[in-house]
């Protein structure tokens, strides 16, 4: 993701994450960062899936 594509909310954690300089980090620190980000991706996907399921349930309920 490019900074230009990122959401434009003030103090957005994603913007701060994208701005961080990775050069000073060790391989171990980079691996830990990757693991943490993969965990956050999984959490975000689960939240998205719950939202989609909730929306589909609501749509089905109101179509009756």
Q: Is 3 a residue whose pLDDT tops 60?
A: no
Q: How far apart are CA 5 and CA 12, in angstroms?
A: 13
pLDDT at 63 over 90: no
What is this structure's pTM? 0.67
| pLDDT band of 4, cuts 50, 70, 90 | low
Q: What is the pLDDT of residues 20-62, one digit of tens each?
A: 999 999 999 999 999 999 999 999 999 999 999 888 887 777 8
- CA dihedral 8→32→22→43, nearest 10 degrees, is -10
* Choice between 63 and 24, residue whose per-residue pLDDT is larger: 24
């Amino acid at each position: 993701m490019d900074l230009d594509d990122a959401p434009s909310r003030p103090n957005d954690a994603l913007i701060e994450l994208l701005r961080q300089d990775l050069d000073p980090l060790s391989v171990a620190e980079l691996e830990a960062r990757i693991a943490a980000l993969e965990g956050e991706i999984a959490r975000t996907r689960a939240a998205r899936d719950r939202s989609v399921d909730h929306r589909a349930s609501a749509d089905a309920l109101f179509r009756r």
